[in-house]
Amino acid sequence: MDHFPIFLSLKGQRVILVGGGELATRKLRLLRKAEAAVTVIAPSACTEILELVEQGVVGYQERKFKDEDLNGASLVFAATDIEEVDTAVSQAARQRGVKVNAVDRPELSDFIMPAIVDRSPIVIGISSGGSAPILARNLREKIEGLLPPALGRLASFADSFRGAVKGTITSGGDRRRFWENFFDGPVAESVLAGREVFARERMLGLINLNWKEKNAAGHVAIVGAGPGDPDLLTFRAMRFMQQADVVVYDRLISDEILDYVRRDADRIYVGKGPGNHSKTQDEINDILVQEASKGLRVVRLKGGDPFVFGRGGEEMEVLQAAGIEVDIVPGITAAIGCAAAAAVPLTHRDHASMVTFVAGQNGDGIAEADWSGLANSRQTLVFYMGVSKANNISAKLMLNGLSGETPVAIIENGTRPDQRVLPGKLSGLGELTENSAITGPALIVIGSVAAFARQQDLRQFATEYLENNKASSSEREVAVARL
């Protein structure tokens, strides 16, 4: 380990910053967050620094650096990007025993500034020892994406209850288990979701009651996993998936999404497809209640959004009636995700001023609908579970006045690597579904916006055709660009 990692309090400490350009400004932003008493020394300074000087929050000496500027300083930063100046600052600092950092010059530095993930009071520093700062920044970006923005609020929330917990739960081992359960539990999730007042009420109850019994009640999160692409999972969905003891999932959940589930979680498959129900809805409800009643953290993982044709509302009602706490995590519903992946705008100023999601079928066959209202040519229709009823759908819409020339698009396995986009006309919708051997989950989009899918499909066909006929890469690019 070339550098010893340490977090240093600079609140009120005198820090010298030599330089007035962009490099110095970046360091100044960090030092202000640390509440250091900063003095900038430079012959000239950029607008941002001068504005802070005018506000009285930063000191400024409009001149060149002098060795005696370091008297009484805790730290010094050389941020001029001028080698002879940065070297002089470094030598002066080392002679006086003041720790120095010369930006992007590790050989002149006593300490390295890490890439920082700031969720104050939670702070993460990532350092390559100056050897690969871009790599450190890339790692910071990845970690930033994994951590909820409200993580700092959660730490402060927990800190505000430390005394109460210590006074109520006297055993050190019990306190540790209490906090482990807290940070993985629904009270912490409420804080992260911005419901802090509600979380405080629940926290007081958790402390004052028998917390072991309270945690034994179990919990269910009904989580929308989106249309299939794991990149479309929300951060909140991934948090619950990583915390789960049990995951109950259906056939719309891909293996790529299941890879984000905690590895030692039990997995229960309850997939349902057309005419092939692994479990009935009542059986699924029973599984959720039974698993949560064991005191487990259960995730009910659903494709799309659980409240859009996902029967999440029914499951929520059953769980609440059983006295089990439920969280709902929305997902990108299939209509929105798949349409975007197929380059189909669901609304468009020149084509559609509204969009309607329709269940293509219910338990008894084709779903009841206001077909005269749906046959409005200035809207987009998205039919879920409609492939097997495509003939009936097209017939009812045309019977109520929608032109048979209206564009349609079937999107199969939307957002996934094996996505297919099948364009056509309303009059040929039934034939299109029958001739396309559709086996994966599919949506039907009806309306003039569906014509946008044609160009994408034609480009894909042309690219594949030219590749199969041994066209060069440049010839393929020119041909596709002309479409």
Q: Which residues contact 26 (CB under 8 A, 6 or more apart)?
A: 79
Query: Which residues are paired to 384 by β-bridges?
Result: 359, 443
Crossing angle of helices 196-208/151-160, nearest 10°? 40
Instruction: Confirm if 202 and 190 have CB atoms less than 8 A apart.
Output: yes
Whole-angstrom distance, CA of residue 352 vs CA of residue 406:
12
Catalytic choice (69, 229, 245, 250): 250
Quote the longest CA-to-CA distance of the chain: 91
Sign of CA dihedral 341, 344, 349, 355: negative
**Collapsing DSSP states into helix, strand and coil, what is residue 310?**
coil
Instruction: Confirm if 64 and 43 have CB atoms less than 8 A apart.
Output: yes
Q: Which residues are annotated as a binding site for S-adenosyl-L-methionine?
A: 227, 303-305, 308, 333-334, 385, 414
Q: In three state form, how does the secondary structure of 342-376 look?
A: CCCCCCECCCECEEEEEECEECCEECCCCHHHHCC
DSSP class per residue in 192-257: HTT-HHHHHHHHHHHHHS-HHHHHTT-EEEEEE-BSS-GGG--HHHHHHHHH-SEEEE-TTS-HHH
Q: Which residues are annotated as a binding site?
A: 22-23, 43-44, 227, 303-305, 308, 333-334, 385, 414
Q: Which residues are annotated as a binding site for NAD(+)?
A: 22-23, 43-44
Quote the tokens at residue 201: 């009420």
Which helix (DSSP H) or strand (DSSP E) does residue 443 occupy? strand 442-446
Whole-angstrom distance, CA of residue 60 vs CA of residue 214:
57
Asked if 66 is an active-site residue, the reply is no
Asked if 272 is an active-site residue, the reply is yes
* Residue-wise burial string across 43-81, b where 16 or more C-beta atoms lie within 10 A, e elsewhere: eebeeebbebeeeeebebeeeebeeebbeebbbbbbbbb
Whole-angstrom distance, CA of residue 195 vs CA of residue 188:
10
Q: What are phi and psi of 102, to 5 degrees?
A: -100, 120
Whole-angstrom distance, CA of residue 306 vs CA of residue 331:
7
Instruction: Confirm if 449 and 346 have CB atoms less than 8 A apart.
Output: yes
Catalytic choice (81, 99, 110, 272): 272
Q: Which residues contact 460 (CB under 8 A, 6 or more apart)?
A: 421
Active-site residue list: 250, 272
